[in-house]
Structure 1
């Protein structure tokens, strides 16, 4: 029987006292969850090791796979190691420990301290992934974006793999344990430290040499030692430059002048044009518009070639000023860089700061040779080299000038159907009728007899015979004269009586008489009327057989005359 005086009974009013005793016991044990403590190895097995921590109720079991391969040989009974306390007691009453988490927690603490203090950390580039690189820092994998690994474009990423480098931690996520690092921040920081030293080496108006680091729409970024300087587009040349990429390439070295130094902002502004006098102040004195000069080709583009008249003075040979007979010539098919050619100075625009040059004006113009050999009015033989919907292009075979014949110059019918009679490579005879602005126009019909010449001796009111060739809904097409001049007689001009004005009354091949009611030698147009012809015939009949004031019709007059004649015969 247990003596009652040795027992202390706790009732519901003693809960607070019990909780205090329990907390004191746990605190005095020295083991707290989610902390790193030291433990001693008690036992080593094939897959596990047993570790005892002072203050724990039991020993913890840890898998050997958590120990790096390089450290397995140093593991022995009695050795003191650091472990991470995940739980002080699981459902089996055992403490849960981890060597790997202890290592990660220790590394994370170093990373967190480095991030807060903005200290550099050492890391090894492990491999390349989408958008960047995996960096091992303090045995924790961090991410470095591609733009943050270097301060210049990376041409060969393999040169960084497995290479230890210094990084700056720019972002951490304690919850997900994500780390983002940057090497570029360190490189730029080092450059900033050297800016004062670089700037101190130069003064304004010094001539220096640098390397083009980047090209933008507003200028060039040029590296002077470790300092990046801006060379604004307006300071590149006295002449207007539309696109800097046509003149420069990243990596090129160039000479420039220090335009301005800002020691507070640690910047230097550069200029190329300040090394040369303004060409437009002397160009009018040195060069005369219309004269020819020797130039050197310095740049080729799709629309023209830039040629240097003298140092710092260049002009544009537009693609339309390269060849006489071609407007859009590819400059690369004619010129090469550093070619020396002769050009004519065409224009100097001081306001727009542009100089226009012409290469073709220094070459013989093929059209001049053509005019000498084939002046206007010349009849020549030519071969069809091209056929279009609007006409033919022909060439005589001994020059590069093509002669254009519009379809209206094929025949006097002036219809595009005449093109069907011609094919490519056919040889035809034609007449040169016009030469203007380097273009030659010819005519095939000019060598044919004009069917309209039939009307040279005719005048308005003359009667002509026509032959019907086509019946149309509102007109008939007829041929006039031996050379078959074609024209239309409209429905309203077909007959005197309205009921007889139907074109279907006639058939192709019918021969009719018509009167010329309008004629124009200038426009080569004539208007014919059968109606007017019938009216003339009616007037002549009335004049011969009766008065126009009798009110009788032609049939009535003729009928009365015939009846009177018949009565006389019966009496006799």
Structure 2
């Protein structure tokens, strides 16, 4: 006899002895009792917890449904788990899960809801293993995706797995029934991930294959705008994406692709390039349109007035879009007749609509030159009438340079007074010695050059040339007095009674050597001098102290030597000195060098 049978008989013996107090020995023998107990035990199932079993509804109560699963006791299930069940009647067979053999009250705990879940779970696992397509309904939106009802069970649908195209309105999918493929299951946590995108990709696979193997440059296709970026537009051609670079969207200049296309818009495009290995498709939208430069000469003649929008500003000018794909340049020099434009922003701004005149057109180089100033008459053409040569005017000093003074005659019209035309009598080293910026000054028009747009002005010409008078006052051999006004290396400049400057070379200050006149002569010191050279044409007067003293008394000469602290020189040196005409080489030059304000040393005469 097996150990199992021995144990079973022993259990029945114990049971038999306990039952003797309830019946008489003569009713049942031990053998009969054991047989009856075995038959009674075999009538019950050997059911394990968490196992799914079938049972029959034996009672229906307000809150519970009582189900007999063939166990020693009946189990109860909340009536809410039968919600939606149409045949809830006594005797109906249902599948349930034995959650617990005995709860705190000793009752058998059953669950129909868990049984329903396990039944669906088995189908989901089978669908995952076989790749079967199952239907589900999207019930709500959650972080990262959607929740899908699969036959009463919740599954997760990631946002990226809804479609091959980017989803912009997730809420629009709530309530939709769709086909899904189970792509991931987590058995311990009983989580399921589904995808609709893989089904769409499978459907598009053949279409994608056909497109990729039939692509040709120049081919025209229809697609839907899938994504818009700063650099271009991605177009869905039916499972294959192509890119339209921002420069291929329009013949004209655009700032962002959304100026031309919108998301989900259906458009036609032309294939411009295709890399089969990298599966890159380059598309163009603008090449479906005529090139704007075709037959441009017929649309835009030289001299024609056009209008356009300012699309770019550079250091040298402004680019104007007169139509999509056609831009012209207004150079800084073509913006104003009178103003000196350093940057186009002085006249125009980005986005501004301006008018201009076509100056030149080069269809081969695709260049158009435009002008704004040509919209108005050139004021320089009228200047000869307004400012005839010799006419007198007043202007404002706007700028001082080393070589002269710029005077504003009227807004935008400047003239130049050369430094040599500031004074008849003064040897001017810099215009700042005579005028200041912002001052009003009287001028005479000397010349007008309309082509070079230059007006030459004179200030000294306001008064008569005094050199006609000076000729009679300061002839050669004339004695005069002069006041020291400037000390230079080669001599001194003195101002004569009539206000004219004259030059005394160092050789005419003493017959001896004089290295530095500043050590012997002082500013505003008055000297007795003799004219030794008068040059009316070059406006020069050369004087000599030696020539003046040559025939004077010894006392006068000694007084001069003492006053000016002249060393190693005697009266006889003065009396015997020669006072011939000074060569041009001895004359100082007052043309302004890079060291502004200092006289330039040289042999040319002062102007």
**Normalized against structure 2, the TM-score is what?**
0.49
Tell whether 2:481 aligns with 1:462: no
Q: What is aligned with 2:121?
A: 108
| CA apart distance, 1:32 | 3.1
Q: CA distance change for structure 1 residues 232 and 174 in 2, over 3 Å: closer, same or farther?
A: same
Matches within 5 A, 1:273-292: 292=302
RMSD between aligned alpha carbons?
6.7
Change (3 A) 1:276 1:158: closer
Structure 2 counterparts to residues 45-444 of structure 1, below 5 A: 45-54=61-70, 56-68=71-83, 70-71=84-85, 74-90=87-103, 94-195=107-208, 207-214=220-227, 221-224=234-237, 226=238, 228=240, 230=242, 236=248, 245=257, 248-250=260-262, 255-257=268-270, 292=302, 304=319, 314-317=325-328, 324=335, 327-328=344-345, 329-330=348-349, 332-334=351-353, 344-345=360-361, 355-360=366-371, 364=374, 368-369=378-379, 372-373=382-383, 396=410
CA separation of 1:240 and 1:301: change in aligned 2, threshold 3 A: closer
From 17, 35, 58, the counterpart of 2:51: 35
Deviation at 1:82, TM superposition (A): 1.9
Once the two structures are superposed, what CA deviation does each residue of 1:483-525 show, in whole Å capped at 9, x if it has no partner? Answer: xxxxxxxxxx9x98xxxxxxxxxxxxxx98699xxxxxxxxxx
Q: Deviations 1:274-295 (Å, cap 9, x if unpaired)?
A: 8899999x99xx979x984989
- Residue 100 of structure 1 aligns to a residue whose secondary structure is helix
Consecutive unaligned residues in structure 1, runs of 5 or more: 1-5, 11-24, 350-354, 385-391, 406-410, 423-427, 466-480, 483-492, 497-510, 516-534, 546-572
Secondary structure at the residue paired with 2:174? coil
Deviation at 1:81, TM superposition (A): 1.9
Provide the C-alpha distance between the structure 2 equivalents of 1:444 and 1:65, rounded to a whole number of angstroms: 113
Check the 8 A contact 2:484/2:526 in 1, yes or no. Answer: no
Question: Does the 8 Å CA contact 1:295/1:308 hold for their aligned counterparts?
Answer: no
Structure 1 residue 364: Cα displacement: 0.7
Partner secondary structure for residue 565 of structure 2? helix
2:46 and 2:388 mapped to 1: Cα distance?
Answer: 117
Q: CA separation in 2, counterparts of 1:404 and 1:153? A: 68
CA–CA distance in 1 between the matches of 2:90 and 2:165?
53
Computing the radius of gyration from Cα coordinates, the structure with the larger value is 2
Classify the secondary structure of the residue corresponding to 2:126.
helix
Aligned residues, how many? Answer: 428
**Preserved contact between residue 235 and residue 274 of structure 1 (Cα < 8 Å):** no
Distance 1:331 1:242, change over 3 A: closer
Query: Structure 1 residue 366: deviation in Å?
Result: 5.9
| TM-score normalised according to structure 1 size | 0.51
TM-superposed deviation, 1:461: 3.4
CA distance in 1, matches of 2:258, 2:460: 52
Shift of 1:270: 6.0
Q: Distance in 2 between matches of 1:153 and 1:215?
A: 11
For structure 2, list consecutive stretches of 5 or more residues without a partner in the other structure. 1-8, 14-40, 314-318, 337-342, 399-405, 417-429, 464-482, 501-515, 528-560, 572-607
Distance 1:213 1:380, change over 3 A: farther
Cα-to-partner distance string for 1:342-396 (whole Å, 9 max, x where unaligned): 57335855xxxxx3333337x6166943575488999666899xxxxxxx99995
Task: Report the 3-state secondary structure (helix = DSSP H, G, I; strand = E; otherwise coil) of the residue aligned with 1:75.
Answer: coil
Cross-structure match for 1:13: none
Contact 1:403 1:439 survives alignment (8 Å)? no
CA separation of 1:287 and 1:88: change in aligned 2, threshold 3 A: same
**Residues of 2 paired with 1:297 and 1:253: CA distance?**
33
Quick check: 2:55–2:95 contact (8 Å CA) kept in 1?
yes
Q: CA 1:245–1:345 in structure 2 vs 1: closer, same or farther (change >3 Å)? A: farther
- In the TM superposition, what is the alpha-carbon distance from 1:164 to its structure 2 partner? 1.7
Q: 1:249 to 1:77 in 2, by over 3 A?
A: same
Deviation at 1:83, TM superposition (A): 1.6
